[in-house]
Homo-oligomer: A and B are copies of this chain.
Amino acid sequence: MISTRGRYALRVMMDLAENDNGSFIPLKDIAERQGISKKYLEIIVKDMVSGGLIVGASGKGGGYKLCKKPEKYKIGEILELMEGTLSSVACLADKGFTCDRRSQCQTLPMWKEYDKMVHDFFYKKKLSDLIPKDK
């Protein structure tokens, strides 16, 4: 289940794309437009900065800005950064996961097939796909 972290991050990205005017956009504005607690968004946006999705600038005139064009962002990279993984099961999500039944596991192929489908779905979609053009 996609949590608010991923969903809010997506909305922040969309808000930044839709309200882009070349300068930085304060979080206060985003929070008000989106109807999300600014305090909570701070945590989310912080991770988006450290994850390289957006850039932040302190001080007056500061705020946040996309660092790529909306069509360059894949929805998958946004969700994966915020959710940690898009994998359906622990044995595929954790890199160092060990399972002594792995070789004989009869469900693993299905989970792999599922994971690939999910990955493809979200990596085919771009941030720009979510924004109405007639704006």
Contacts and interface: CB of A to CB of B under 8 A. Distances in A.
A131 to B, nearest CB: 7
A89 to B, nearest CB: 5
Interface in A65-92: 75, 85, 87-90
Contacts of A118: 118
B107 A11 contact: yes
Nearest to A11: B107
A122 B2 CA distance: 18
A57 interface: no
Interface in A82-121: 85, 87-90, 93, 101, 106-107, 110-111, 114, 117-118, 121
A52 B18 CA distance: 49
A14 interface: yes
Contacts of A90: 1
Interface in A1-42: 1-2, 7, 10-11, 14, 35
A117 B106 contact: no
A125 interface: yes
A32 to B, nearest CB: 14
A1 to B, nearest CB: 6
Given A107-B130, A110-B75, A2 B89 contact: yes
Contacts of A93: 1
